[in-house]
Amino acid sequence: MVKNLTKHGNSYAIIIDKPILELLRATPDTPFEIISDGQCLILRPMRNPEEEKKFRDSLDKVHQQFGRAMKRLAE
C-alpha cells in the first residue's frame, strides 16, 4: 500500500484506512507509539493491558472450543 502525506494545519498526516485500523484492533482514540531509525517509521498501537488480557483469554477459549475444526479448515 502506498500513501501520500496530507496537509493538516501546519503539519502533515497519513490517513489510516478503516480496514487497517480494524486489523490492528485500533480506534481513532488508540494511542500509537512511533519508532524511527532515521529511515523508516513503525507505528504500533499501545495496548491497555486489561484489554489485551481479555482478548487473549477470548482467543484461548475459541482455540479450545474450535481449534481442531479451524485446523481442518485451514488445510
24 with 45: CB under 8 angstroms? yes
- Residue 54 CB-half CA count within 13 A: 6
66 with 58: CB under 8 angstroms? no
- Categorize the per-residue pLDDT at 61 as very low, low, confident or very high, splitting at 50, 70 and 90: very high
**17 closest CA partner among 29, 9, 26:** 26
Is 52 a member of any domain? yes
34 vs 31: CA distance, rounded Å: 10
Predicted pLDDT at 23 = 92
The mean of the pLDDT values for the chain is: 90
Is 31 a member of any domain? yes
Question: Is this model's pTM higher than 0.75 or not?
Answer: no
Is 1 a member of any domain? no
Total domain count, the chain:
1
Dihedral over alpha carbons 70, 22, 5, 28 (to 10 degrees): -160
> Which CATH number is 31's domain given?
2.10.260
Is 43 a member of any domain? yes
